[in-house]
Structure formats: C-alpha cells, structure tokens
C-alpha cells in the first residue's frame, strides 16, 4: 500500500523476491547460452549475439506465460498460489526489460550495420504484407513491446490512483493482446527457421495450458456467483451464514447472501466477528481469501489492509469498503445482507455473547 509516490515499494519480502527473480533470469540466460554453445558446434555453431537474442526472447515469452497463469492459479488454489499475485507487478516489469533487451539486441544485430537507421532497416527488411506465412513478423513484436512499455510505465500505484482502478485495470488487460501479438511474432518468425518440432510443441502447449486455466477459472467463478450459500433466512431478512466453529481464526467464510448480491466475507478475529464486502477497493481482489494480519484484514492480491470494525484502511491510507451487521444466536452467525456505506463503523459481534440486535 502507498499513500504517496515511492519509486519502488520494497519491503523485506519483496527484496528477497526480486533477488531470486533476478538470479533466476540470469541463470536461465546462462544455462540457455551455455547448453546451446555446447550443442551447436563446428559448422553449426551459432554466434554469441544470436544466442543472446534467442535466450532473451525465450526467457521473455516464458515469463509472460507464467505471469498470465498466476491469476487463474490463485483463483483455483488460493492457499498455494495467491502469494504469487502479491509480486506480480515486479515480475511483469522484469519481463518487460528482458523483452526490451531482446528488441535492442535484434535492432543492433540486424539493423545497425547498414546505411539507414536500425528501425527503418527493420521495418523495410521484409515487405511481404500480402502473405500470411511470410508476413513481416517483426511488426507483431514491435507492437507488443509498445504495449508492454505502457503497462510497465503505469504499473506503479501512482498511476493506479490517478487513472482510477477501473481504467487502470482496462489498460492492463492489454497484456492479453500483447500475448497474442507475441505468439504471432514467434510463430511467423523464429519457429519457421527451426527444424526441431520441440519449439512449436512447447509454444502450443503453453497456449493450451493458459487457455484451459482461464476457462476453468471462469466456470468456477460463474458457479460461485450463481450459488446462494447460506443455511437459511430469518423472518427479519437476516441470513444464516454458518456456525461459529466453521470460521477459522483470522480467516473468513465467504457467502453470497442472495442471488445477485455482492459476496460478503465474515472474518473471525480475536473474540469477535466482523463482515465486509468481499471486493478490495484496490483492484477488486477477493478479500475473503486473505487473512487478518496485525489486526487488519489483508487482501491476498497486493496486501491492501482494512480495519475489521469499519472497513477503512489504517491511517494515513484512505481506501474504504462496505461493512455489514452481524449477530450470534447460539452457535449460529447471522448476517444483515444490507450493506452499510464504505467505511461505516460496525462494532464486532462478540463470540459467546448473545447479540442485542
């Protein structure tokens, strides 16, 4: 979270994550170049610059696949994969710089030794616009790197706040368009010069896995949205959420009070219970899949926090989410499905005490 501009919002965990990420990228490049140098020798030897171009290109496309898999994996198995989302923006910016390195190396190697500037040389090298197989695949790569540039440049919370979450999210959905462009760039470019079927098989398998994960996630979300998962409704309209014992300490039970209603996360913390909307005001993350840390409900996606008793981020932050009223009857937890305005005070209901509501 940030209420002011900070160039990079590092903490101890993010620093460790970034170091491991940098080591992984350098390790991948070293292994790729090393193994390729030992494999392609003699008349089949490949120049060091070409190996570096191939290494950065394959590294970037691999990283993009992993980035696009993080979202659906976290939705399908939140306990194991949700922490990956917390650092996804650092992963994405790193991927952009790897892709940019690939682009610069290509410009230098294939366009910097003629009489025209490298960009013009690349754009006029192949003009077979009427052919699908022979189409200048470089254009797909250039378009993709432009999209990735805008996404990396606006990845900071400063732009999220100024563009608004809705427009920021819309802009960053462009990653899927960039992915399609990069698949075309690889399929119509590098792969056509390869004799081995391994490259197209790996590229196709990656796309199939990615599409399958997104389809499974969409089906799961549609089923959850259509399900009214409460035990019953009292005469006064309050809904029976669950037994107190069904809600783990510092965790939540997420329910849909009625068809078409917003999901509600009922958290158990200390000796009480509190209910808030299940949508983080930051990027719409599923708050109910997070947990209470240091007394604050913490979104699993990017660590945004809210106080359980009023749905407000702790000062000096200003984010707010709707709150709900609870009562306990015996062991049963009942919820008033009518939300209060974001940031409204609702004292936690005590476990073991009969509510006065």
- pLDDT tens, residue by residue, 174-185: 999 999 999 999
The half-sphere exposure of 53 on its side-chain side, counting CA atoms within 13 A, is 16
243 vs 156: which has the higher pLDDT: 243
Average pLDDT, stretch 343-354?
A: 84
| pLDDT for residue 228 | 62
> How far is it, in rounded angstroms, from Cα 144 to Cα 214?
21
Q: In 3D, which of 95, 207, 210 has the Cα closest to residue 147? A: 95
| pLDDT for residue 140 | 93
Average pLDDT, stretch 161-169?
A: 77
Average pLDDT, stretch 15-20?
A: 88
* Residue 356 in this model has a pLDDT that exceeds 60: no
| pLDDT for residue 144 | 96
* Residue 3 in this model has a pLDDT that exceeds 80: no
| pLDDT for residue 284 | 77
pLDDT in tens, 243-259: 999 999 999 988 888 76
275 vs 220: which has the higher pLDDT: 275
Band of pLDDT at residue 1, cut at 50, 70 and 90: low
Write out the DSSP string of 184-234.
HHHHTTGGGG---SHHHHHHHHHHHHHHHHHHHHHHHHHHHHH----SEE-
| pLDDT for residue 285 | 81
- pLDDT, mean over the chain: 86
Q: In 3D, which of 309, 308, 307, 326 has the Cα closest to residue 317? A: 307
Among 42-46, 167-171, 301-305, 350-354, the range scoring the smallest mean pLDDT is: 350-354
Please state the φ and ψ torsions of residue 95, each to the nearest 5 degrees.
Answer: -60, -40
Band of pLDDT at residue 186, cut at 50, 70 and 90: very high
* Residue 192 in this model has a pLDDT that exceeds 90: no
Among 112-121, 239-248, 281-290, the range scoring the smallest mean pLDDT is: 112-121
Average pLDDT, stretch 310-328?
A: 90
* Residue 52 in this model has a pLDDT that exceeds 60: yes
* Residue 67 in this model has a pLDDT that exceeds 90: yes
Using a 10 angstrom Cβ sphere, with 0-12 exposed, 13-18 middle and 19 or more buried, the burial of residue 158 is: middle
15 vs 100: which has the higher pLDDT: 100
Residue with tokens 């020798």: 41
Q: Which two tokens stand for residue 160?
A: 């999220």
| pLDDT for residue 177 | 95
Among 121-130, 174-183, 312-321, 327-336, the range scoring the smallest mean pLDDT is: 121-130
Task: Decide if 110 contacts 58 (C-beta within 8 A).
Answer: no
Give the start-end residues of each E strand in the chain. 232-233, 239-243, 252-255, 264-269, 272-277, 291-293, 296-298, 305-306, 323-329, 332-336, 349-350
Q: Is the pTM of this model over 0.85?
A: no
| pLDDT for residue 260 | 66
* Residue 343 in this model has a pLDDT that exceeds 60: yes
How far, CA to CA in Å, does 6 sit from each of 105, 135, 245, 306?
Answer: 31, 43, 42, 21
Q: Is the dihedral of CA 305, 306, 308, 314 positive or negative?
A: positive
Average pLDDT, stretch 68-84?
A: 81
CB count within 10 Å of CB 76 equals 13
| pLDDT for residue 232 | 72
51 vs 76: which has the higher pLDDT: 51
| pLDDT for residue 103 | 94
> How far is it, in rounded angstroms, from Cα 47 to Cα 52?
9
């Amino acid at each position: 979270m940030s209420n002011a501009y900070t160039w990079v919002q590092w903490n101890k965990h993010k620093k460790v994550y970034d170091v491991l990420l940098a080591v992984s990228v350098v390790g991948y490049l070293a292994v790729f170049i090393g193994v390729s140098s030992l494999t392609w020798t003699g008349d089949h030897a490949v120049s060091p610059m070409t190996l570096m171009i191939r290494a950065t290109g394959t590294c970037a496309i691999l990283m993009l696949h992993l980035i696009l898999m993080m979202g659906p994996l976290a939705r399908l198995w939140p306990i194991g994969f949700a922490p990956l989302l917390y650092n996804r923006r650092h992963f994405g910016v790193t991927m952009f710089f790897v892709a940019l390195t690939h682009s610069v190396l290509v410009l230098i190697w294939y366009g910097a030794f003629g009489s025209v500037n490298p960009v013009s040389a690349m754009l006029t090298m192949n003009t077979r616009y009427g052919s699908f197989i022979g189409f200048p695949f470089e254009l797909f790569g250039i378009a993709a790197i432009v999209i990735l540039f805008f996404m990396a440049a606006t990845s900071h919370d400063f732009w999220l706040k100024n563009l608004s979450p809705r427009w920021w999210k819309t802009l960053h959905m462009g990653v899927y368009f960039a992915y399609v462009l990069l698949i075309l760039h690889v399929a119509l470019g590098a792969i056509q010069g390869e004799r081995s079927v391994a490259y197209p098989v790996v590229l196709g398998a990656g796309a199939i896995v990615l599409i399958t994960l997104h389809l499974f996630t969409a089906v799961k979300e549609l089923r959850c949205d259509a399900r009214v998962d409460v035990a019953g409704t009292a005469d006064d309209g309050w809904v029976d959420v669950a037994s107190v014992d069904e809600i783990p300490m510092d965790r939540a039970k997420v329910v849909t009070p009625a068809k078409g209603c917003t999901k509600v996360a009922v958290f158990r913390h200390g000796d009480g219970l509190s209910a808030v909307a299940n949508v983080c005001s930051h990027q719409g993350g599923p708050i109910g899949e997070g947990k209470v840390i240091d007394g604050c409900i913490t979104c699993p996606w990017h660590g945004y926090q809210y106080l359980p008793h009023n749905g407000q981020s702790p000062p000096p932050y200003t984010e707010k989410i709707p709150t709900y009223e609870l009562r306990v009857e015996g062991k049963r937890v009942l919820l008033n499905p009518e939300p209060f305005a974001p940031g409204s005070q609702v004292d936690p209901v005590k476990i073991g005490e009969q509510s006065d509501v």
